[in-house]
Structure 1
Amino acid sequence: MGQTVSISFFRFGSLRHRLWALWMMGAARLSLSRLPDLGFWKLCGSGTGEGFTPLPNTAVYAVIATWPNESVARARILESRVFERYRTKAAETWTVFLAPLSSRGEWSGSQPFVPAGADQASEKDERHRPMAALTRATIRPSILMRFWRRVPDISSAIGQDRNVAFKIGLGEVPWLHQVTFSIWPDALKMAQFARTGAHAEAIQAVRSEGWFREELYARFEVTSDVGTWDGSSPLEVLK
């Protein structure tokens, strides 16, 4: 059994709870740094709409974390005081558990996601398993305007794609540090989106114009989840 990655999403209702969540972007760091078995972790805010916009969404926050395995991940998220505080304040919470399949690049100078093997399953197997994609980048300040001009076309394309089960844009620092996360029925449908249209054009620009100072691309098998988002599990549509 290899590394498990958890992404916990929290939606806050009242202004008081939203302000608390914003405050926790700094205050939760000490608690998380002391949490047993927790490896790499990041606190993230989100964007408005689909999440792929430069305007912050003050209602939605996320915690990305790595653990030795899924049983440990579930226990720590369920039992630790810091995650309990988030659940108590939030109007809705959802955590998805992931097994890394591949990862290239760095995040804050490290390689946080560790596949258990050289893509444990075959490409044939991947075609029939729910998959997730995560990208993270530090955007060069000199190209911020060009980057954000591209985003609406990508957001529109992913929003209209009936294959995507879940998608959101996150960020550690607004405008400069960006994370995208999406869940797909299988690797084939994920690849079809990545290689066509506005998304493919943006990737080509990234490569040719050097948009990012640091970047990471990772793929995961979706193993399980707990909680709801918009009233149900986003994984229900994949069953």
Structure 2
Amino acid sequence: MSDNQEIVSITFFEYPKRNRWWAFNQMQKAVSPIRRVEGVSFFKLMGTGGGFGFSIKPDFGTYALLLVWKNADFARKYSESEIYKRFSQQCLSNFTYWMRCVQCQGSWNGKQPFAVTATAKSQEPLMVITRARVKILKIPRFLRFVPASSRSAERADGLLFTKGIGEWPAIEQATFSYWESQKQMEAFAYRSEHRKIILKVKKEGWYKEELFARFVPVSISGAQQNSEQT
């Protein structure tokens, strides 16, 4: 796998109560510094949900930073960047997932953010980002049905981690999930309550915009990967 290919990172920063107002304000104040990070072609700084997977209840203690790096050389400099130091100095802990895209359908704010640079095997680990902009008139339906999918995910075989992420509560929502294998992810997606909701979404046209992307995990030597969880 070439170091010249695009790579994606998503970091979850967990903040103590004394720094949560500071972290909330970074949703606006940190945008310009993130734009200055060398080698980043796309980014999103997002809040997270407080429940399992998707949740309408916000988690004011955890924020997610999604970065698309032009290549691995730029990615390795992440822990030395101004923006990483800005967040890590204020947080209790952080963890970064590194990945390469194997499939991407749809758009994010009118853009195709991820280039396909890898392939996946059914028995190997897989990461997934699903994102949607919900139509205003469909929000009540969205809030009524989607939490059922999160409850079914709690019982899903092979789910290692999941977190709801998003730019605006209820309107612009996304979920990041990490699975033991593609096979187990597809078993949940196509043979559970989640599948029923997807069919309802399509039939009733809930979304103004949506994106579905799959990734394989990779390791980046020299880049900040995690810190002790507290």
Give the corresponding residue for 2:121: 126
Give the corresponding residue for 2:159: 164
Which of 25, 28, 49 does residue 27 from structure 2 map onto?
A: 25
CA distance in 1, matches of 2:157, 2:53: 17
CA distance in 1, matches of 2:110, 2:217: 25
Given residue 115 of structure 2, which amino acid in structure 1 is its aligned partner? V
CA distance in 2, matches of 1:229, 1:209: 44
Given residue 204 of structure 1, which amino acid in structure 2 is its aligned partner? L
CA distance in 2, matches of 1:228, 1:43: 20
CA RMSD of aligned residues (A): 1.5
Name the SS of the counterpart of 1:224 in structure 2: coil
Give, in angstroms, the shift of residue 228 of structure 1: 4.7
Q: Does 1:66 align with 2:40?
A: no
CA distance in 2, matches of 1:47, 1:169: 5
Give the corresponding residue for 1:235: none
Residue correspondences, number? 223
Q: Does 1:39 align with 2:41?
A: yes
* Alpha-carbon contact 1:70-1:97 (below 8 Å) kept: no
Give the corresponding residue for 1:234: none
Give, in angstroms, the shift of residue 69 of structure 1: 2.2
Equivalent runs, 1:1-239 vs 2, <5 Å = 1=2, 2-14=5-17, 16-75=18-77, 77-116=78-117, 120-121=118-119, 126-224=121-219, 226-228=225-227, 230=229
Structure 2 gaps of 5+ residues are: none
Structure 1 gaps of 5+ residues are: 232-239
* Alpha-carbon contact 1:7-1:64 (below 8 Å) kept: yes
* Alpha-carbon contact 1:10-1:62 (below 8 Å) kept: yes
Name the SS of the counterpart of 1:108 in structure 2: coil
Identity %: 33
Q: Cα deviation per residue 1:163-214 (whole Å; 9 max; x = unaligned)?
A: 1011010110111000111011111111000002211011101111111000
Q: Which region of structure 1 is more displaced relative to structure 2, 38-47 or 221-230?
A: 221-230
Given residue 180 of structure 2, which amino acid in structure 1 is its aligned partner? P
Using structure 2 for the length normalisation, give the TM-score. 0.92
Given residue 97 of structure 1, which amino acid in structure 2 is its aligned partner? W
Structure 1 residues 50 and 79: CA distance shift in structure 2, 3 A: same
Greater per-residue helix proportion = 1
Name the SS of the counterpart of 2:30 in structure 1: helix
Structure 1 residues 66 and 126: CA distance shift in structure 2, 3 A: same
* Alpha-carbon contact 2:133-2:173 (below 8 Å) kept: yes
